[in-house]
Amino acid sequence: MAGISLRNIVKRYGKGPTAVQVIHGVNAEIADGEFVVIVGPSGCGKSTLLRMVAGLEEITGGDISIGGRVVNEVEPAERDIAMVFQNYALYPHMSVFENMAYGLKIRKLPAAEIRQRVDKAAGILELSQLLDRKPRQLSGGQRQRVAMGRAIVRQPQVFLFDEPLSNLDAKLRAQTRLEIQKLHRELGITSLFVTHDQVEAMTLAQRMIVMNAGVMEQFGTPEEVYARPATTYVASFIGSPPMNLLKAAPGSRPGTLMGVRPEHLDVAGSGWQVQVETVELLGAERLVYGRLGGESLILRLDEGRGAPAPGSTLTVAPRPDRLHWFDAETGKRLPD
């Protein structure tokens, strides 16, 4: 196992004045055995960053180290990593066992060691009863576990996951997240996991890198990123529904945006007058969408409170200790 060091990583496509820069000086130190999620929308550079760690994309500037060794010029096969892709990349004509064992056979490991490694990985992933099946006989979740098993048997220093759950339905995604958490607890291998889904990021990460247009906006634990977003971008991307960012709410500061999460607004006897536009019923909670003056506002209510009618006025008060302040021009967090 080994840590990963990203030092001022830059990626440009093309040369000269027409070059397009897609990664802008990313710096991050990922500890040995840590599980880090890179999260952001499509096109933000998260997969490009992962592919540079893997050696599948050339680095324009900076250094990537794995286990203390700079790997900028090291071939992917020599980096001692294993990658799990979105599309599983299984050989359809091979059995589960053969798919998991193939990389080890190429490396000419003894048959007994191959069997031992595959059996161990299959046990961890609950695939032992499926080793003789072909991929077409498996569900999507089972195929993804085979892809993870193929990575496990390599016994690499680092796991790289490139949106591995994107092809699964919501129930399977949740189940597979639990399996990945269990896998990391058992193996403790340094892992980088790319996703566009902030729920996946929050539930899986020990720490998370939030990317925006090739820039690392914040690197911290899920709790830190949620409780103290470094920018308005992070505030609006992490959290569902997103944080309210208000220009002219009562108590606002000049040149400053006030941030407050929907769950930190309480129905009160006095406070802000919110015009209710629509209400979403989500089982144990209700999301109220309304307007505060000329600005949109979202409020989360628990099931114990009746839903307000569209067109009515609701009085709410923000919790003073849960307000966030951002520079209106730069979007950066200001001192509380």
pLDDT of 176 higher than 90: no
Q: What angle do CA 219, 222, 223 make, to 5 degrees?
A: 115
User: Measured between alpha carbons, how far is 303 from 57 in angstroms, rounded to an integer?
Assistant: 49
State both tokens at 181. 């958490």
Q: Give ranges for CATH 3.40.50.300 in the chain.
A: 4-234
User: Measured between alpha carbons, how far is 114 from 312 in angstroms, rounded to an integer?
Assistant: 67
Q: How far is C-alpha 76 from the chain's CA centre?
A: 23
Helix spans in 93-169 (H): 96-106, 111-124, 140-152
Q: Give ranges for CATH 2.40.50.140 in the chain.
A: 241-327
297: pLDDT confidence band, cut at 50, 70 and 90? very high
pTM passes above 0.85: yes
Q: Tell me the pLDDT tens digit for each residue of 54-96.
A: 999 999 999 999 999 999 999 998 999 998 887 778 889 999 9
pLDDT of amino acid 1: 60
pLDDT of amino acid 169: 82
CATH of domain 241-327: 2.40.50.140
Residues near 216 by Cβ (< 8 Å), separated by ≥ 6? 26, 27, 28, 209, 210
* Average pLDDT of span 206-215: 97
Calculate the average pLDDT of the chain: 92
* Average pLDDT of span 189-199: 94
Q: Tell me the pLDDT tens digit for each residue of 231-270.
A: 999 999 999 899 999 997 888 788 899 999 999 999 998 9
CATH of domain 4-234: 3.40.50.300
Helix count and strand count (H, E) for the chain: 8, 17
User: Measured between alpha carbons, how far is 87 from 147 in angstroms, rounded to an integer?
Assistant: 9
Reference 210, options 187, 189, 236, 184; nearest CA is: 236
Considering only 175-189, 224-238, 257-271, which range has the smallest mean pLDDT? Answer: 175-189
pLDDT of amino acid 137: 92
